[in-house]
Structure formats: C-alpha cells, structure tokens
C-alpha cells in the first residue's frame, strides 16, 4: 500500500525525517517554501533589499534559489537579475557550457533579465588554463581557490555595476554546516563570521545573501525535481583538487551520518551557531555589527591599484592572477615575434 501524506492522505513523495512527516508533492513544495520564508524572515535577509543579483551556476541549489526568489519577489518587494559565469571548464565533459545552458534556460523560463560573463572573453583566461599552466606562471594557489577568487570578484563587480543591493548565492544547509565546522576547527574566525544568511555591503562590497541556507541539500534537490527545473548534475572535474580535498569531504560525510542518526542535527547545529554563538563572536570582533545582529566586510580596506576594487593589498588577488596570465601571454607574443 502506498505511503500517505501526513497532511492530506494523498500518496507521499518523500519523507522529512526531522519533522516526522511524509508529504505529497503539493505539501512538500508548501513545506519547503514555508521554511525558505521563515529562515529569511528570522534573519531579515530581504530587509532594505530592492534589487538582487542571483548568482546561478546551473546546479540544483542555485536554481532552486532562483525559483524561490522569483516566487516571493512581490511579497518581499525586490527585483532579480540573473548572473551566470562561464568559467571555461571543459575536460571533455563541456562542464561550463552545460552549466551556463541550464542557468540561461531557467532565466528565460522565468522571464528574468540576465547576464552571462564569459571569463575567457572578458578577462583572458579560463579555469582549465589555470589548472594546466597556473604553476608554471607562478600561481601557487590550488585551482579551486583561483576559481573561488574569480567567482567572488565577478559577482561583486557585476552586482555593483548593475546597481544591486545584494548578491545571492545558493549555499544550502549542508554547505553551511560543513563550513562552520571546518572554519571552527581551523580557527578561521573571519571566515567563520561570514557564515551567516546576510552580510551587509559597504567599502566597495555588495551585501551577500544566502537565501536557501535553511534548506537541506535534499530539499533543494526535491524542490528542483518537483518543479521540473532542468539542472546540471555533474560535479566540477577539478573538485578532486579542491580546497581541503579529502578532509572537507570527510567532514561533510560525518555530518551527514549524524543527520541520518539524529534527524535535524544539521539544522540545530547551524541555527545554534547563528543564533547563539556568532552574536557573541561579532560583538568581540573588529568587523562590528549593524544593529541587525549581522556583520560584514566593514573592516577598512584600501583599493586595488589596477582595478580600483577593495583590496587589503596594493594589487587585489584577482588582478594578481590576471597579471600573471597576461604576462605569459605577452611573453609568448614577443617570443614568437623574436623580440
Ligand atoms: P560553489 O562555490 O561552486 O559551491 O558555489 C556556491 C554558489 O556560488 C552557487 O550556489 C552559486 O550561487 C554561485 N556560483 C557558483 N558557480 C557559479 C557560476 N559559474 N556562475 C554564477 N554563480 C555561480
Ligand atoms: Fe571552480 Fe571547480 S567550480 S574549480
Ligand atoms: Zn498532502
Ligand atoms: Zn584588482
């Protein structure tokens, strides 16, 4: 006999163990949407936000975020601009091409204005190029770290240019549980403080929001499937060389095992950190708060000599990567000319 929805008795499509319920399609969508609203309201995520740049990778999390943002745009009174970055990752799988296609398909379906930034055309390198040639160019960071710097820079820069009040990313509850754990372990206080649904802008930074922070990865996946959202399933081919690599993966798996054993574990872990621990850290940190209990990049920073964006150093991390790449390109041109 088919398992029935705890609310209405229709056939259930999934079990939500931490609420001890089984839900049909309609009630599951309603449940996920209610949690999206509840989390964002508790942490005042959309307060004073009128224009959001939604950073969409084409995966399930950022696409679920896009649909949820779109669904409640008139309730909270913001408009959305889509942003997707073609990072130039191929590796025989056309990873970036497929990611961008999935993002654009949804922007069009929802009739959302959007921008595609082609890293190679706009800035002269691809992530595959960094993976293959980075070391020889003197770029010591792992490829995923270069990719992270690149994405954050482009998101911030385009959000500022597009006059947005915030950049939204699709980090889910599992991501946050993992980041909180590993940053705590490593004592990375500044990174730990950033693990919050909303970080205010200022000093050349746009505010950053994580509207699906309260949704488990399973929930963003279910939401995407139930809404017939076509998302890109592949994982990045460079992930095996990722920041932290095996350690990060192991922590995530352990946290997921704890969730299996004690349903609701991750939710409690993340909410306890955000509600009770982080406020104490913020009041004792140089980053300050803004009265809403959140804090952000309010440390005083200078400007990058090359691009004018905020930077703690004379040249920002992004421009220093670019200068190494363009140095090599100009050397190659002079060599081929025989200069
Ligand atoms: P990741 O760092 O790959 O875990 O991605 C975190 C978030 O960054 C995603 O949920 C997206 O919101 C955003 N993001 C990642 N890759 C891209 C991309 N290529 N274009 C636009 N946004 C992205
Ligand atoms: Fe950036 Fe994989 S997505 S290196
Ligand atoms: Zn039901
Ligand atoms: Zn710069």
Complete DSSP assignment for 204-253: TB-EEE-TTTTS-HHHHHHHHHHTT-----PPPTTGGG-TTTHHHHHHHH
Q: How far apart are CA 310 and CA 272, in angstroms?
A: 32
DSSP conformation class of 338: T
Q: Assess if residue 21 is contained within a domain.
A: no
Domain CATH number, residue 183:
3.40.50.620
Neighbours of 19 (CB within 10 A): 13
Which portions of the chain are predicted below pLDDT 70? 1, 240-244, 285-300, 327-339
Q: Assess if residue 1 is contained within a domain.
A: no
Q: Assess if residue 330 is contained within a domain.
A: no
Q: Which atom of ligand 2 is nearest to the CA of 242?
A: 4
Q: Assess if residue 230 is contained within a domain.
A: yes
Rounded to the nearest angstrom, the distance between the alpha carbon of 90 and the centre of ligand 1 is 16
Pocket of ligand 1, beta carbon within 6 A: 55-57, 61-62, 83-85, 87, 99, 151, 169-171
Q: Which atom of ligand 2 is nearest to the CA of 150?
A: 1
Q: Assess if residue 18 is contained within a domain.
A: no
- The residues facing 310 across adjacent strands are 303
- Ligand 2 binding pocket includes 236 (Cβ within 6 Å): yes
Q: What is the pTM of this model?
A: 0.93
C-alpha closest to that of 40 among 61, 14, 68: 68
Residue in the block written with tokens 């995407």: 224
Counting the structural domains of the chain, the total is 1
DSSP conformation class of 137: G
Rounded to the nearest angstrom, the distance between the alpha carbon of 97 and the centre of ligand 2 is 13
Q: Assess if residue 322 is contained within a domain.
A: no
Alpha helices in 77-195 (DSSP H): 95-109, 119-123, 127-133, 143-161, 173-186, 189-193
Rounded to the nearest angstrom, the distance between the alpha carbon of 157 and the centre of ligand 2 is 19
Q: Assess if residue 287 is contained within a domain.
A: yes
Q: What residues does the ion ligand 4 have nearby, CB within 5 Å?
A: 304, 306-307, 316, 319
Q: Assess if residue 338 is contained within a domain.
A: no
Task: Tell me the residue range of the domain where 249 lies.
Answer: 28-299
List, for residues 226-271, the tens digit of each pLDDT value.
Answer: 999 999 999 899 876 444 578 888 999 999 999 999 999 999 999 9
């Amino acid at each position: 006999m088919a398992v029935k929805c705890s609310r209405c008795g229709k056939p259930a499509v999934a079990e939500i163990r931490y609420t001890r319920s089984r839900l049909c399609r309609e009630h599951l969508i309603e449940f996920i949407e209610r949690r999206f609203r509840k989390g964002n309201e508790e942490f005042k995520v959309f307060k004073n936000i009128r224009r959001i740049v939604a950073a969409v990778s084409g995966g399930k999390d950022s696409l679920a975020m896009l649909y949820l943002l779109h669904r409640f745009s008139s309730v909270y009174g913001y408009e959305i601009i889509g942003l997707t970055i073609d990072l130039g990752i191929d590796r025989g799988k056309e990873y970036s091409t497929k990611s961008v296609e999935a993002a654009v398909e949804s922007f069009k379906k929802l009739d959302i204005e959007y921008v595609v930034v082609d890293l190679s055309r706009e800035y002269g390198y691809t992530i595959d190029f960094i993976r293959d040639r980075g070391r020889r160019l003197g770029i010591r960071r792992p490829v995923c770290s270069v990719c992270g710097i690149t994405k954050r820079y482009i998101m911030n820069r385009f959000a500022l240019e597009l006059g947005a009040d915030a950049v939204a990313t699709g980090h889910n509850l599992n991501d946050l549980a993992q980041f909180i754990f590993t940053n705590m372990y490593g004592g990375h206080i500044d990174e730990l403080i950033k693990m919050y649904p909303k970080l205010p802008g200022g000093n050349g930074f746009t505010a950053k929001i994580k509207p699906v922070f309260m949704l488990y990865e399973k929930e963003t996946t279910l939401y995407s499937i139930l809404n017939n959202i076509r998302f890109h399933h592949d994982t990045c081919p460079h992930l095996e060389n990722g920041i932290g690599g095996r350690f990060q993966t192991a922590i995530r798996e352990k946290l997921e095992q704890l969730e299996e054993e004690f349903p609701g574990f991750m939710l409690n872990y993340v909410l306890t950190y955000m509600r009770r621990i982080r406020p104490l850290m913020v009041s004792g940190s140089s980053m300050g708060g803004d009265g809403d209990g959140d804090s952000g990049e309010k440390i005083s920073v200078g400007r990058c000599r090359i691009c004018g964006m905020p930077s703690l150093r004379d040249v920002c991390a992004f421009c220093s990567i670019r200068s190494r790449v363009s140095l090599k390109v100009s050397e190659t041109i002079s060599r081929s000319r025989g200069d």
